[in-house]
Amino acid sequence: MNPQGIVLSGGPCSVFDEGAPQLDAAFLEMTRSDGSPTPVLGICYGLQAMARLEGGEVAPAERREFGRAHLHIDDAAGLFQGVPDGSIVWMSHGDHLTRLPSNYRVIAHTGNAPIAAVASDRLPHYGVQFHPEVVHTAAGRLLIENFAMGICGCRGDWTRASFVDEKKREIRETVGDAHVILGLSGGVDSSVAAVLLHEAIGDRLTCIYVNNGVLRKGEWEEVQAVFRDHFHLRLKAVDATDLFLDRLADVSDPEKKRKIIGNAFVEVFDRAAHEIAEEAGDRPAFLAQGTLYPDVIESVSFKGPSATIKTHHNVGGLPEKLDFEVIEPFRELFKDEVREIGRLLGLPELIVGRHPFPGPGLAVRIVGPVTRESLAILREADAIFIEELRLSGLYDTVWQAFAVLLPVQTVGVMGDERTYENVCALRAVTSVDGMTADWARLPDDFLAHVSNRIVNEIRGVNRAVYDISSKPPATIEWE
């Protein structure tokens, strides 16, 4: 592959775990086509794996270090060029480096970690104990830029327009005269994928839009209006509400819900694909999906399912079961990049600016069994929250906001009556990629207003609470 540089990422394992991924020493001796040594940046686990090979010592920390720390820079050249001393970095590790390999020196430390960043004296090898790739590390982006551009000599010449042209050409080449189907959810990713493919191959794309019974208020109608009436895409809309809800009856375990929804989706989708094939007299050979890079990372693990955080049904399932070749134009992109591409392709802001919505929909926002009644309550609560966010101009300031219905009843009072009804949780987070997130500091008055409306307007809810946990350690969805 002749890379310009190598980043050894962090990971969920400890280097001491059985079967933990180990680094082949050859990676540390690589040279580039001009004969210069290949630069390496090890992050957290990557640093530990690299340092061990080089003769350093890694040990479990007494206490797992998690959260913010101030970085004190001992050598500002190279990796830390322009990074302010004392800037915030995000730590998340159980093991740490306790002895440097020979020829390595410390280039930064924190109050808790005497070895927070290292550099080799011999080769362009660097390591950081903290996570520059998360937004909470203030100068993380600059640090990665310093490594990629300054140390590795890469250029930043990726543009949206060049991406769109390249992908359209690639799609045409791959697809030839064949037909493609795409599972449209109305979310940003599949919507942008649909329009990109439509531009590339026109009516040889057919989108299948399934009502899985766990969509938000008004969504089923809105999505059809946008894609069929506005974009004139070939759209097959299948209302399978009863099938999904019947199968979800009495199921509380979130992973089971995901599997049921995933399997039912495959069935419904398969049937729809067959119908399309009969109508067109030609079996679609390709399946396009709006899979993003974070879906890929969170759904795969180096070894077995142990570190799979959640089974995102849009990644697994469909391709294996349906025997299609898969087209995933955004597999290496993050959501903000896909939004940019959507804008370039002329998608309305209502779609590109839309908050992410999980494939298993409201089923993972009802803690406990999903019923038609609980869905009706949650839809109303969610709609009020979103409507108020839009009205107050706050919608675009958060990554995602939604309501969650808890299987907990508490006492309330309405008029002179005692009530015993459900708790509704409101969740709003800020994030750039959904991989880490912080709870959004929404104004008190706004939250008070939303709470009032929900508790007063919705029968079945007498209490609203606001979630103040960050990811990690919490996740965005409650499940």
User: Which residue lies nearer to ligand XMP by CB, 59 or 300?
Assistant: 300
Which amino acid, residue 242? D
User: Which residue lies nearer to ligand XMP by CB, 110 or 211?
Assistant: 211
User: Which residue lies nearer to ligand XMP by CB, 325 or 477?
Assistant: 477
Q: What is the DSSP-derived secondary structure letter of residue 36?
A: P
For the question of residue 133 being annotated catalytic, the response is yes
Quote the least distance from Cβ 312 to ligand XMP, whole Å.
4
For the question of residue 131 being annotated catalytic, the response is yes
Quote the least distance from Cβ 290 to ligand XMP, whole Å.
8
Tell me the three state secondary structure of residue 392.
Answer: coil
Q: What is the contact surface with ligand XMP in residues (CB under 6 A)?
A: 310, 312-314, 356, 358-360, 400, 434, 471, 475-477
CA distance 225 to 237: 11
The full 3-state SS of 314-344, as one line of letters, equals: CCCCHHHHHCCEEECCCCCCCHHHHHHHHHH
User: Which residue lies nearer to ligand XMP by CB, 159 or 252?
Assistant: 252
CB 283 within 8 A of CB 277: yes
Query: Catalytic: which of 93, 96, 109, 131?
Result: 131
Quote the least distance from Cβ 178 to ligand XMP, whole Å.
26
Quote the least distance from Cβ 329 to ligand XMP, whole Å.
16
Query: Catalytic: which of 13, 44, 207, 424?
Result: 44
Q: Residue 466 CA to chain centroid, in angstroms?
A: 22
User: Which residue lies nearer to ligand XMP by CB, 42 or 358?
Assistant: 358
CA distance 78 to 399: 33
Quote the least distance from Cβ 10 to ligand XMP, whole Å.
17
- Count the neighbouring beta carbons within 10 Å of the beta carbon of residue 299: 18
Q: Could you give the residue ranges of the DSSP H alpha helices within 185-280?
A: 188-201, 219-224, 241-248, 254-280
Q: Residue 119 CA to chain centroid, in angstroms?
A: 31
Quote the tokens at residue 159: 């543009």
User: Which residue lies nearer to ligand XMP by CB, 69 or 292?
Assistant: 292
CA distance 165 to 158: 12
Distances in Å between the alpha carbon of 186 and those of 173, 179, 218, 219, 241?
A: 27, 21, 12, 8, 16
**Nearest Cα to 290, choosing from 186, 219, 173, 199?**
186
Query: Catalytic: which of 54, 133, 328, 380?
Result: 133
Quote the least distance from Cβ 205 to ligand XMP, whole Å.
20
Q: Would you please indicate which residues are annotated as catalytic (active-site) residues?
A: 44, 131, 133
